[in-house]
Amino acid sequence: MNFPYKLVATDLDGTLLRDDHTVSPRTREALAAVTAAGAAHIVVTGRAVPWTKHILDDLGYDGLAVCGQGAQVYHAGEHRLLTSLTLDRRLAGVALAKIEAEVGPLALAASRDGLDGEVLVGPGYRVQEGPLPALLVDDVAEMWTAPLNKIYIQHPELSDDALTEAARQAVGGLVDVVMAGPGVVEILPLGLSKATGLSLAARRLGLKAADTVAFGDMPNDIPMFGWARHGVAMANAHEELKAVADEVTASNEHDGIALLLENLLRTTPRL
């Protein structure tokens, strides 16, 4: 069987994962069918490796994954970190000061680098419920004592969209700011995106942007859509992502990835 893409790139939260953080049997079967047809599957997520590897293990996934908004390329089968980019902590501190000068005090969390890097959560930061490990700290100074992939910021009053826009305006060209999900606004190294991480992972497989169909749901997926040949937004996606998508499929709760992949498998001529 032939398949029109050599690479299928999927975001995790709100895309591959249902709202209960599982992958449906139908989606698992569709991904198995396209990999049997010769395509590679790469997970591309904002989560750092420590918050991703248990999901990949559960899926029986042994390929490459792009984690930490592109900062990390992880070999799931070997449980090995292949590349990792860290945030310049001095620049991040300057950027935070500039943001707080505009919007007032922020609640902070930080993702430490490495296979087992903790997520440190400062006073007032709202952690989403679930099994993901986080270490509460009383003094935010503790966040700066080891290499970091990113900083998470929250504001007591501003919406995610408003905080993201205000932060971008404040930091100029020091760092990048992305919204990765509800309550998740992140400060990243300048120029880092899912596209940069995905391009590195694809190159390791001998694949290119023109070979790629990508699925996502949030504004942090916009660079990945810009890189891939075909970008598919979920029905539950943020309007900013839908605006740049080539196509919109069903939601993560209704097997949107599987529906599109099954249709491509059905309509692709056999050689």
Structure tokens at 138: 């009383």
Q: What is the distance between the alpha carbons of residues 181 and 190, in angstroms, rounded to a whole number?
A: 20
The alpha carbons of the chain give a radius of gyration, in whole angstroms, of: 18
pLDDT at 1 over 60: no
What local confidence, expressed as pLDDT, does residue 131 receive? 57
Paired with 248 in beta bridges are 233
Q: What pLDDT digit, counting tens, does each position of 84-130 carry?
A: 999 999 999 999 999 999 999 999 999 999 999 999 999 999 987 65
Nearest Cα neighbor of 41 from 60, 61, 55 is 61
| 227 confidence band (pLDDT: 50, 70, 90) | very high
Q: How are beta strands 72-75 and 80-84 bridged, if at all?
A: antiparallel
Q: What DSSP line would sit under 62-96, residue for residue?
A: -SEEEEGGGTEEEETTTTEEEEE--B-HHHHHHHH
pTM: 0.92
What percent of the chain clears pLDDT 70, i.e. is strictly above it?
97
pLDDT at 226 over 90: yes
